[in-house]
Chains A and B, each alone.
Chain A
Amino acid sequence: MILCDKIFADFNFSEQCRKYHISLWRCPSFLFLVMGILTMVSMIGTHILAIRYDNPFIAVLSVSLVAIIIFTIGNIIIHAVESVNSASHMKTEFISIASHQLRAPLASILWSLNILEKKGGNASIRKKYIELLQENNQRMIKLVNTLLDVSRIEQGILDFHPMVVNLEKIVRRTIKELAPLAIASNIKINFTVLNNIPNLFVDENKIQIVIQNLINNAIKYTKGKGAVKITLRNYEDKIIFSVTDNGIGIPEYQQKKVFSKFFRSDNVMKHQTEGSGLGLYISKAIVEANSGKIYFESIQGEETTFWVELPKTQQRAGRL
Chain B
Amino acid sequence: MVKKRKILIVEDEATLQKAMQDLLTGENYKVLSALDGETGFNLAVKEKPDLILLDLILPKKDGFETLTDLKQNKQTKNIPVIVLTNLEGTTDIQKVLDLGVAAYLVKINYSLDDILEKIKEILK
Where the two chains meet, the residues of A that have a C-beta atom closer than 8 Å to any C-beta of B are 100, 103-104, 106-108, 110-112, 114-115, 118-119, 125, 128-129, 132, 135-136, 269-274
Most buried by B among A106, A115, A136, A274: A115
The 13 sampled A-B contact pairs (Cβ below 8 Å) are A107-B16, A110-B108, A111-B16, A114-B19, A114-B23, A115-B23, A129-B19, A136-B15, A269-B59, A270-B60, A271-B59, A272-B59, A273-B59
* List of B residues within 8 angstroms of A271 by Cβ: 59-60
Q: Which 9 interchain pairs have the tightest Cβ spacing? A: A108-B15, A111-B19, A107-B107, A114-B112, A103-B86, A132-B15, A107-B108, A103-B108, A273-B57
How big is the B interface, by class? Answer: 20 to 34
Report the Cα distance A107→B107, complex, angstroms.
6
Report the Cα distance A129→B15, complex, angstroms.
9
Give B61 Cβ to nearest chain A Cβ, in Å: 8
The B contact surface, by secondary structure, is: helix
Give B17 Cβ to nearest chain A Cβ, in Å: 10
* List of A residues within 8 angstroms of B111 by Cβ: 110-111, 114
Report the Cα distance A111→B108, complex, angstroms.
9
* List of A residues within 8 angstroms of B20 by Cβ: 111
Cβ contact within 8 Å between B59 and A100 = no
Give A220 Cβ to nearest chain B Cβ, in Å: 12
Report the Cα distance A128→B15, complex, angstroms.
10
- The answer to whether residues A135 and B60 also contact, given A107-B108, A110-B111, A118-B26 and a CB cut-off of 8 A, is no
* List of A residues within 8 angstroms of B16 by Cβ: 107-108, 111
Contact with A along B27-63 (1 / 0, CB 8 A): 0000000000000000000000000000001111010
Among residues of B, the one whose C-beta sits closest to the C-beta of A125 is: B22
Residue B4 lies at the interface, judged by CB distance under 8 Å to chain A:
no
Residue B13 lies at the interface, judged by CB distance under 8 Å to chain A:
yes
